[in-house]
Amino acid sequence: MKSKGLYLGVLISLMLLVLFSLGGGIWGAKSTIGHWTGDLFRGICHQNPLRSFHLDGVQMAVNSRCFGVFIGLLCGWLAIPAFIRMGIKKNPFLWYLLFAVVAQIIDFSGNLIQLWENSNESRVLLGWFLGFTATASVFDLFTNNN
Amino acid sequence: MNEEIKDEEQKLSFGDYLPSAAIVGAIFGLVSFIVGLFFGYQQINAEPTGSFFSPSMLSGFVICLFTAFAGLVAVWHFTKEVTPFMKLGQGAVLGFLTGAIITILSSVLSELWIMLIDPEYMDKILESTIANMEMMEMPESQKDAMIEGVADSMGDGQSFLRQLYIGIPISGLLNLVTALIGVKIFAKKAEESF
């Protein structure tokens, strides 16, 4: 595996991203909104409590979809060494990523025009798929023969 | 010839990345500022409905999705204008830099807008956001905590440095990831030229 320094740096950053996205609950705060974890993600997430998971009764710093994306990014990144060891020749994840982006837009639009109502569980799953395919799509760039 | 390419890669300095990061960062920063402003005034002028899909919440989704692609676009620009050969680490630097420029530019423009054009903008946004939240159907305790938190975090007006401090790492990291995807799609490997 090459670019190990970059791999480790991004791995630590993604771990921190997931940790901070858990919100103020794990830091002993009574509310995430107004806490530094909430401020950290305010620019990229609407942080609606009805569309977020809660830890110890305190909402997370991001909504369920964003949390799914972050977990997916981390899982995909963690899977890169495994994909390299498996010796996968052709990387299919770029196509899956395209599919995941389209699925997000369809899910968001369908909910917006009230064709269906998505749930925290469906949003976290779709978000995970998007995040996982995003980081998994670059796994072959870390192989030594690249 | 292979060595020439390696030499070429090693010669790249911060100044080589800057034009791509600055151009793409400026475009994405400007567009995200304008979109944010547009939805912001939509929110100010709209009647509070209590709907989750308020203009400011929509703008968050649109801006987040849009700006995350800046890293990928910056790599595309770099491979067109500087060199088609790019390493992963170079893509990562370019992506992070682009995300940082987006945050800096949009924060500067927001500050300028509030200072020079509409000093009451933040107060009006805060007022309309709280009015909308009050109409939301959720437990009162949850609603009160949310309103209190929003009032605390928006009411004081975050300092410019704090906006950068909390904005750059997240925007930088997300654009770093999309820049790596950009390296995969747009950058050529040295072996491919032979």
What is the nearest CA distance from B193 to chain A, expressed in angstroms? 14
% of chain B surpassing 70 pLDDT: 83
pLDDT for B4: 47
Helix (H, G, I), strand (E, B) or coil at B182: helix
The per-type count for chain B, helices as H runs and strands as E runs, is 8, 0
For residue A65, the SS3 value is: helix
Q: Are A48 and B52 inside 8 Å of each other by CB?
A: yes
Average confidence (pLDDT) over B66-79: 93
Residue-wise pLDDT for A15-25, tens only, equals: 999 999 999 98
A137 interfacial to chain B (CB closer than 8 Å): yes
Distance CA A70, CA A129 (A): 10
- Summarised one tens digit per residue, pLDDT across range A92-137 is 999 999 999 999 889 888 887 888 888 899 999 999 999 999 999 9
In contact, B187 and B84? CB cutoff 8 Å = yes
Find the DSSP H helices in A42-119: 64-86, 93-112
A97 contacts in chain B (CB < 8 Å): 181
d(CA B68, CA B74): 11
User: What pLDDT score does B154 carry?
Assistant: 65
The answer to whether the CB of A103 falls within 8 A of the CB of A126 is: yes
Q: What is the pLDDT of residue B144?
A: 79
Phi, psi values for residue A87, rounded to 5°: 70, 35
The more confidently predicted of residues B135 and B117 is: B117
> Chain centroid to CA B61: how far?
12
Among the residue ranges A74-78, A87-91, A139-143, the one predicted with the least confidence is A87-91
A75 in contact with chain B, both atoms CB, cutoff 8 A = no
Q: What is the mean pLDDT of chain B?
A: 82
ipTM: 0.90
The domain total for chain A is: 1
* Per-residue pLDDT tens over the stretch B137-159: 777 777 777 777 677 666 555 66
Structure confidence by residue, pLDDT tens digits, B79-134? 999 999 998 999 999 999 999 999 999 989 988 999 999 999 888 888 888 888 78
Give chain B positions within 8 Å (CB) of A46.
Answer: 52, 56-57, 60-61
In this complex, which of A6, A33, A141 lies closest to B150 when CB atoms are compared? A33
Separation between Cα atoms, residue A124 and residue B191, nearest integer Å: 40
Which residues, including other chains, have CB under 8 Å from residue A124's CB and lie 6 or more apart? A53, A64, A65, A67, A68, A71
Measured from the Cβ of residue B2, the count of other Cβ atoms closer than 10 Å reads 10
pLDDT recorded at residue B52: 64
Domain range for A14: 4-142
- Angle formed at CA A93 by CA A87 and CA A96, multiple of 5 degrees: 150
Torsion sign across C-alpha atoms B109, B115, B117, B121: positive
A41 CA to centre of own chain: 13
Q: Which B-chain residues 63-122 have CB contacts (< 8 A) with chain A?
A: 63-64, 87-89, 92, 103
Average per-residue pLDDT in chain A? 90
